[in-house]
Amino acid sequence: MGRAPCCDKANVKRGLWSPEEDAKLKDYIESFGTGRNWISLPQRAGLRRCGKSCRLRWLNYLRPNIKHGEFSDEEDRIIFNLFTTIGSRWSIIAAQLPGRTDNDIKNYWNTKLKKKLMGLLPNSRRKPQPPAPLPPPPQLRTTTPTPVTSPFSQQLLLLPQPQSPSPCSPPPSKVYHHLAYINDCSISPATPSSFGTVNSVQSSCHETFTVKDQAFLGFGYDPRSFDSYENQQVMMKMKEESVHLHQDGFDFDQDTNQQRWAEAMSNEVYLGWEYDLIVG
């Protein structure tokens, strides 16, 4: 037995909203408010719509101060920073961008920003060429680690800290892909050769949390949600980043790292690190 439907689908209108329906909904809410009950609102407002549909229409389109149109560079930066920090929690991201809705940001990310940031935004509307063969795993060398500046982490450090979980409580397993929760934590063991085989996170209050097997600390992306082509592009991009970081003086255990890369590729899970935050 499935979940009971929220409304009688046979008797509600679906699809795009007409200007008349918009006017009805807007007039009603501006006059009487939502009454804290979206389910009964369409009936009260004289609309043949599902309450959920009314809520969405109001929140995403009709309510005052909604900002439409192009996103600014500053908004791009904020979205990117937050996405790399907390992942696809669009409502939280939207809360940082007055006038923007979670739906708007989600659409923007999925259709434009993700590609723009990966350098994939096509010049035309032509179908992209099939991905080039992936390069072989980077040949890694052993050097003395020195502080590394990542172009991403410089900005991440400016972000407001998330409300929860607190730095001193174990984050839920799903957030291990995201960096905000280790902002003031250090990676343990943090010896150079252990990069890529991180198995625990130590907080600033010296509590050590175990990272689940197969969970990786990364830039915040969860490429499993990308399609195959983009996933490859993302991983290639990040691979380049890690090579760059390596060349800047970070050390990796060559065998382990190559093995992990192969694993990451086959599982479509990206393995990566965020040095500044780990150190900080």
CB of 132 to DNA, least distance (A): 18
CA proximity to 180, closest of 274, 258, 44 = 274
CB of 37 to DNA, least distance (A): 4
Query: Can you give the binding site for DNA, defined by CB under 7 A?
Result: 2-6, 9, 14-17, 34, 36-40, 49-53, 55-57, 60-61, 68, 88-92, 102-104, 106-108, 110-112, 122, 124-128, 225
Question: What is the CB neighbour count within 10 angstroms for residue 244?
Answer: 14
Token reading at 238: 């990040």
Q: Closer to DNA at the Cβ: 230 or 248?
A: 230
Q: Enumerate the H helices of 36-130 as residue ranges.
A: 41-45, 51-57, 73-86, 90-95, 102-108, 114-117
* Pair 218, 109: CB distance under 8 Å: no
CB of 232 to DNA, least distance (A): 16
Three-state secondary structure call for residue 187: strand
Question: If residue 160 lies in a helix (H) or strand (E), which one and from where to where?
Answer: none
DSSP 210: E
Q: Closer to DNA at the Cβ: 86 or 278?
A: 86
CB of 92 to DNA, least distance (A): 6
CB of 150 to DNA, least distance (A): 24
Q: Closer to DNA at the Cβ: 57 or 239?
A: 57
